[in-house]
Amino acid sequence: MPDSPAAAAESADVVIVGARCAGAASAITLARAGHRVVVLDAAPLPSDTLSTHLLWPAGLAELQHLGALADVLALGAPPLTNAYAAGAGYGIDTTFPTVDGIDHALCVRRTGLDDVLVRTARAAGAEIRQRSRVTSVLRAGNRCAGVRYTDGAGATVEISAALVIGADGRDSTVAQTVGAQPPLLTVPSGRDCYYAYWRDTPGRPRDTAAQWRVGADLGTAFPCDDGLVLSLVQPPAVPGRCGPSAAERRYTEALQRIPALADRLRDCERVGRVRAATGLSSYFRRSAGPGWALPGDAGHFKDPVTAQGIRDALRYGRLLGEAVTEVLHEPERLDRALRAWERRRVDECRAMFHWTNRLARGEAMRPLEIELYRRAADDPELARVTTGIFSRTRRPAELHTPARALRLVAGALRHQPDTRAVLRDLALELRIGARNIHATRTALRGNTPPVLTPRRSADRSDPPVPRSALPATLAAAPRRDRSVPAAEHR
Ligand SMILES: Cc1cc2nc3c(=O)[nH]c(=O)nc-3n(C[C@H](O)[C@H](O)[C@H](O)COP(=O)(O)OP(=O)(O)OC[C@H]3O[C@@H](n4cnc5c(N)ncnc54)[C@H](O)[C@@H]3O)c2cc1C
């Protein structure tokens, strides 16, 4: 079939593939600027998707930017004003940093959250077409010039556009067809995800987002809308496929290994089945080229352990719209704007990428991390820095200033019996930090040529990356990476 857009019966300024976080954010921004925006999604809408949904204050600030926050708050999820993290016998209680006037987190199920986003995009003037699966992109020379899709009735339809935005998630068809596979940098997760909803019982703390670590296990309880609690467990990854009965078993076993979480859910009634996400990898893909861009998970994904994906999809979807709105029909300027947008996302997200991969290692807490918990339990400023990292108001490097790092090592040597284990951990952290810096300066260095090459279908999935070739099972950088902007939430 010809790839040329000449046959396209319809044209738009922008075609967006995917109508959830990233796609809706781009659509809202571009439609408000007066452009003709068509959004195609393969799913029926509204609908659920495989994702938990904790939003830190920075995520809510993104909803506020889009004008969607009031409708999301109206879904009735309780404001989470306290953060609690426990591990190795220490419990850290803290509040959230304020971002754009918002001082709490929120956990809103995706059917409602995504529906608000779609409705906001429609109100802004975007046309949303559900049950419409994009199968390939149209080309004009080396440019991406539109898409071909199958509509709900099974008909093949083509739309030409100055810009194709692939907001179609981790298995992005757009990424595949423009040649953005395999990713520039991939780090397999050391953890699997299993989650379920519970009907909460009266008297339980519905204002607290809680996380527990026991051995190599990690579990959370986040009160959400409709009187429910979302509970996600992330035990070490098990290779291979995971059917419904294995998911149920692994979820239940993990709960049993985390008594404080089991206690939080005591007398609560389970609602619905256990959902599983296994075999996850964090990555950066090449995310911009002639006439195309990949916001959201299509271009960049971090393990759910730090709950950053929705915020980043909203933010870089919006920033993409803002970056291109004035230059949509000037190809050279458009492509420059796309490259600058991509660069900004890499610069703002790479430290969090490494921080996330560190927590996704799927191991028990190591000596330096235990010392961090011990100190943070009694040091409100340290606790605030840590919570600020998750809310993107502080940078991971702020935990590793020379003074803080020295105090951490000295404290671990004083309080933990196995001196050699502490020194081994320190050596590992330094090695991993160095490898992270190397990986981001090579794989993500930013001078990869733009691509728009059809790929063989055999290339569809990421090739396995040998662990030895990875940038790391990662840690925060031992010294400050100066190219990471200080405040990225604006
Ligand atoms: C288990 C798990 C737990 C998570 N927990 C959290 C959390 O607590 N907090 C957080 O912030 N993030 C979390 N995330 C991350 C979050 O889910 C994603 O980062 C976020 O959904 C990305 O939004 P998106 O718009 O890029 O993609 P998606 O939400 O994946 O949406 C992509 C859309 O594209 C559509 N699509 C796909 N292919 C096509 C096609 N060919 N044609 C047309 N449409 C197509 C799909 O139907 C879908 O609607 C979690 C992820 C997982 C896997």
Q: Is 483 exposed, middle or buried (0-12, 13-18, 19+ CB in 10 A)?
A: exposed
| 472 in contact with ligand 1, CB cutoff 6 A | no
Is 447's pLDDT higher than 80? no
| 304 in contact with ligand 1, CB cutoff 6 A | yes
The tokens for 469 are 């070739």
Nearest atom of ligand 1 to the alpha carbon of 18:
34
Instruction: Identify the CATH number of the domain defined by range 11-78+104-357.
Output: 3.50.50.60
Q: The tokens 């990869």 sit on which residue?
A: 448
- Cα–Cα dist 137/192, whole Å: 33
The 3-state secondary structure of 155-199 reads CEEEEEEEEEEECCCCCCHHHHHHCCCCCCEEEECCECEEEEEEE
What mean pLDDT is predicted for residues 204-228? Answer: 97
Q: What letter represents residue 310's amino acid?
A: I
Q: Closest Cα to atom 41, ligand 1: which residue?
A: 134
Calculate how far, in angstroms, residue 263's C-alpha sits from the geometric centre of ligand 1: 31
| 317 in contact with ligand 1, CB cutoff 6 A | no
Q: How much is the pLDDT for 299?
A: 98
**Bond from prior residue into 2 cis (ω within 30 degrees of 0):** no
Q: How much is the pLDDT for 489?
A: 41
Q: How much is the pLDDT for 7?
A: 53
Calculate how far, in angstroms, residue 324's C-alpha sits from the geometric centre of ligand 1: 23
The predicted-structure confidence for 96-123, as pLDDT tens digits, reads as follows 999 999 999 999 999 999 999 999 999 9
Calculate how far, in angstroms, residue 105's C-alpha sits from the geometric centre of ligand 1: 19
Q: How much is the pLDDT for 453?
A: 41
- Cα–Cα dist 436/196, whole Å: 34
Nearest atom of ligand 1 to the alpha carbon of 173:
41
| 307 in contact with ligand 1, CB cutoff 6 A | yes
Instruction: List Cβ neighbours of 29 (8 Å cut-off, separation of 6 or more).
Output: 66, 317, 318, 320, 321, 322, 325
- Cα–Cα dist 105/74, whole Å: 15
Calculate how far, in angstroms, residue 297's C-alpha sits from the geometric centre of ligand 1: 6
Q: What is the residue extent of each domain of the chain?
A: 11-78+104-357, 366-444
| 168 in contact with ligand 1, CB cutoff 6 A | yes
- Cα–Cα dist 254/250, whole Å: 6
- Cα–Cα dist 43/111, whole Å: 12
The predicted-structure confidence for 147-182, as pLDDT tens digits, reads as follows 999 999 999 999 999 999 999 999 999 999 999 999
**8 Å CB contact between 179 and 285:** no
Calculate how far, in angstroms, residue 372's C-alpha sits from the geometric centre of ligand 1: 32
What mean pLDDT is predicted for residues 358-378? Answer: 95
- Cα–Cα dist 56/103, whole Å: 9
Is 450's pLDDT higher than 80? no
Q: How much is the pLDDT for 285?
A: 97
Is 477's pLDDT higher than 50? no
Q: Closest Cα to atom 12, ligand 1: which residue?
A: 309
Is 2's pLDDT higher than 50? no
- Cα–Cα dist 344/321, whole Å: 14
Calculate how far, in angstroms, residue 261's C-alpha sits from the geometric centre of ligand 1: 26
| 22 in contact with ligand 1, CB cutoff 6 A | yes
85: which strand partners?
Answer: 92, 211
| 483 in contact with ligand 1, CB cutoff 6 A | no
| 233 in contact with ligand 1, CB cutoff 6 A | no
Calculate how far, in angstroms, residue 178's C-alpha sits from the geometric centre of ligand 1: 20
For ligand 1, mutation pick of 242, 310, 349, 392 (most atoms within 8 Å of CB) = 310
Number of Cβ within 10 Å of residue 325's Cβ equals 17
Q: How much is the pLDDT for 402?
A: 85
473 falls in which pLDDT band (50, 70, 90)?
very low
